Amino acid sequence: MEAALDQGLRVPGDLSVAGLDDIMLGAHVRPPLTTVAIPKQELAKQAIELLLRYIDGVESEPVSLTVRPHLVIRNSTAGVI
């Protein structure tokens, strides 16, 4: 966003910007960054449970884990007209 602002572009007026991972800094930049948040605690919980299943011998094949991300709308994206 800083590079866009340096080029005279307005965020979100001329350019919408969105991030991924909802790092704490995103809420505190100007304008605050719209982002896709990934529930890290849920992901860690699933990973630990899977690791324990591997250790106990219950699981031996590769497994795919998923968590449901959510959109955190802030001021770095323009609304849809």
Identify which of 35, 15, 11 has the alpha carbon closest to the alpha carbon of residue 23.
Answer: 35
How far apart, in Å, are the Cα atoms of 22 and each of 4, 14, 39, 53, 59? 20, 23, 9, 30, 32
9-44 per-position pLDDT tens digit? 999 999 999 999 999 999 999 999 999 999 999 999
Instruction: Output the pTM of the full model.
Output: 0.77
- Beta strand 18-20 with 70-72 is unpaired
Whether pLDDT at 80 is above 90: no
Domain boundaries, given as residue ranges, for the chain: 2-72
